[in-house]
Amino acid sequence: MPDRVDGLTMTTQLFQGETDVLLALTANKESRHMRIIALVTMVFLPGTFFATIFSMTFFNLQAEDVESTVPSSLWVYIVFAVISTAVTLSTYYYFVTIRPNQMLASSVSTEV
């Protein structure tokens, strides 16, 4: 009887281990998808923010002639949007890639 119980325990642990592996793989896949969503958000959010600000009435960005539909100072929006997007992506890159590597290197050097 004890051999049968040990066999059932091992079988249960085997299935639980397989389930844990599948859960870990699924969590890793979802984590990658969330990073992609965060990256897409970081690309579009600064431009959307400045488009909202510049569409308000306290900026007069109308062109000089009546027939023009694109304001002559559109470059101001483009500069702000590109710079803020670059800063946002650089900050993301720093906190996701560079800083963890620095923290890992410093923890390894203090352990030795």
**Dihedral sign of CA atoms 23, 29, 32, 34 in order:** negative
Residues 6+ apart with CB under 8 A from 45: 88
Task: Give yes or no for a contact between 38 and 96, defined as CB atoms under 8 angstroms apart.
Answer: no
Q: What is the pLDDT of residue 12?
A: 85
Report the percent of the chain where pLDDT is more than 70: 79
Q: How far, in Å, CA of 108 to CA of 104, rounded?
A: 6
pLDDT per position as a tens digit, 34-61: 988 888 888 898 888 888 887 765 555 5
| Torsion angle in degrees (nearest 10) through CA of 95, 98, 100, 106 | -130
Helix (H/G/I), strand (E/B), else coil: 108: helix
Query: Residue 111: pLDDT above 90?
Result: no
DSSP classification of residue 72: T
Q: What is the pLDDT of residue 86?
A: 92
Mean pLDDT of 24-34: 89
DSSP classification of residue 94: I
Mean pLDDT of 86-104: 87
Name the range with the highest mean pLDDT among 21-30, 56-65, 101-110. Answer: 21-30
